[in-house]
Amino acid sequence: MRCLRYLSLPVLVIVLAVASSAEVVISVSFAPPALPVYEQPLCPAEGYIWLPGYWAYDYDFDDYYWVPGTWVLGPEPGYLWTPPYWGWNGVAFIFHEGYWGSVVGFYGGINYGFGYFGEGYDGGRWEGNRFFYNRAVNNISVTNITNVYNNTTVIRNTTVNRVSYNGGRGGVVARPTPQQEAAGRERHIAPVAAQTQHVQAARSDPQLRASGNEGRPPIAATPRAAEFRGGGVVGAREAGAPYHPPVNRGERGGPARGSEPREGNNTSGFNRPVPRPENSRPAVHPNDLPPLERPAPRNTGNAKADQKYQQQEEKLYAKQQQDRQKLQQRQDQEHEKLTRQNASQARQQQLEQRHQQQTQQMVERHQAQQQKAEPKPPRGEPH
């Protein structure tokens, strides 16, 4: 991870270098509101898939806003929706965008309801080119839709957790399984056009801002994307928990003080600040680091010396790769152990801090090894 820039006291922007391009991830220092309580609108027609509502963030107003749950036609048969989620990284709450894929990936363990109970999707399944709906968790009219089944075993018989973020104080304690990590690496399809329009409509509606509705949006879910008026639109019955935004989150009605210039809108509905790669902060885990670069061939004119140096570089490259893998594996095991112990948030944060120190120490050790391996110039040549 590179380039951490403070926009204002509560707002951070993290720039991740990914291969030759940079991905800008919006993050906020204070947690999103709890998930509101609402009913699911009737499915409008066969083929529509339910997308649960979630809280997004708007820098123009320094405020969270509710993106209502809605029914959307997927991009193609066989694809399911992995919802977005907010996750604490030890510094801020980072927004992880949703995506379409053949398998539902990790979405923070957040219980969005209606089949999205924190892991996978129990609201329906594809059989060939037809989507079959689980009536136990979906509002389906069997008069219009006949491809249904009823599986009540997926309904959780425990108190519903309205927490809307992973990690941090009071957040959901969940980490991705190897299967979910694999799903995250598979081919994905970005949100369809209807979803983009839906987010933009929510962003431009003042009554969906959390500071005004106090976590209880008057438009909680819609039968179709971007249609916020008319029959079938439902409001929240109640807020998931009392919500009061921080007083120092930035000035209402405009950009936060000290903010960076903004780019145009994107598919997530955010106005993303323009990245300025001037500052940096250590990665927390080895997987957060940029990939190691394989050593490039040398051509000094001395074939024997070049071959010897190349072999040394390849050996060092393999060892450093192994170091990363071992440290990541050990840190994953420690996370899993705390999860099984239902450890307190304080212990989890202490573990994250220790992991960050371990990762930084490994990076410094590798840099020293690389410098030591650099060939010394022959006598008489400048250093």
Per-residue pLDDT 10s for the chain (383 aa) are 333 333 333 444 333 333 333 345 678 989 999 999 999 999 999 999 999 999 999 988 899 999 999 999 999 999 999 999 999 988 889 999 999 999 999 999 999 999 999 999 999 999 999 999 999 999 999 888 999 999 998 876 555 789 999 998 889 999 999 999 999 899 899 999 999 999 999 999 999 999 999 999 999 999 999 999 988 999 999 999 999 888 766 433 333 332 333 333 333 333 333 333 333 345 678 887 878 877 777 777 788 888 888 888 889 989 999 999 999 999 988 888 888 887 776 777 788 878 888 888 888 888 888 878 776 555 544 44
178 within a domain of the structure (yes/no) = yes
380 within a domain of the structure (yes/no) = no
In this structure, are 10 and 70 located in the same domain?
yes
What distance separates the 2 farthest-apart alpha carbons in the chain? Answer: 89
Pull the structure tokens for residue 137.
Answer: 């968790």
In this structure, are 228 and 337 located in the same domain?
no
Three-class SS of residue 7? strand
278 within a domain of the structure (yes/no) = no
- Which is nearest to 194 in space by CA: 293, 70, 310, 379? 70
Q: What is the pLDDT of residue 168?
A: 86
In this structure, are 199 and 167 located in the same domain?
yes
Task: State the Cα–Cα distance between residues 251 and 319, nearest whole angstrom.
Answer: 50
- Last residue in a domain, options 273, 296, 327: 273
282 within a domain of the structure (yes/no) = no
Task: State the Cα–Cα distance between residues 34 and 48, nearest whole angstrom.
Answer: 26
- Last residue in a domain, options 222, 250, 273: 273
Task: State the Cα–Cα distance between residues 43 and 217, nearest whole angstrom.
Answer: 21
Task: State the Cα–Cα distance between residues 179 and 52, nearest whole angstrom.
Answer: 22
In this structure, are 180 and 296 located in the same domain?
no
In this structure, are 163 and 237 located in the same domain?
yes
- Which is nearest to 97 in space by CA: 109, 89, 86, 113? 86
Taking phi over 0 as left and psi of -120 to 50 as alpha, with beta for the rest, 217 belongs to: beta
- Last residue in a domain, options 245, 273, 301: 273
Q: How many CA atoms lie within 13 A of 116 on its CB side?
A: 28
Q: Domain containing 257: what range?
A: 2-273
In this structure, are 208 and 338 located in the same domain?
no
**Is 186 within 8 Å of 196 (Cβ atoms)?**
no
203 within a domain of the structure (yes/no) = yes
161 within a domain of the structure (yes/no) = yes
In this structure, are 128 and 193 located in the same domain?
yes
280 within a domain of the structure (yes/no) = no
Task: State the Cα–Cα distance between residues 224 and 195, nearest whole angstrom.
Answer: 10
In this structure, are 261 and 292 located in the same domain?
no
Task: State the Cα–Cα distance between residues 123 and 117, nearest whole angstrom.
Answer: 10
For 289, 312, 334, 359, the CA distances from 350, given in Å and listed in that order, are 20, 38, 12, 14
Q: What is the pLDDT of residue 6?
A: 32
In this structure, are 137 and 10 located in the same domain?
yes
**Is 69 within 8 Å of 83 (Cβ atoms)?**
no
Q: Report the predicted TM-score, pTM, of the whole model to 2 decimal places.
A: 0.63
In this structure, are 181 and 217 located in the same domain?
yes
Q: Give the number of domains in the chain.
A: 2
In this structure, are 306 and 353 located in the same domain?
yes
In this structure, are 131 and 253 located in the same domain?
yes
Task: State the Cα–Cα distance between residues 309 and 164, nearest whole angstrom.
Answer: 52
33 within a domain of the structure (yes/no) = yes
Q: Name the β-bridge partners of 284.
A: none
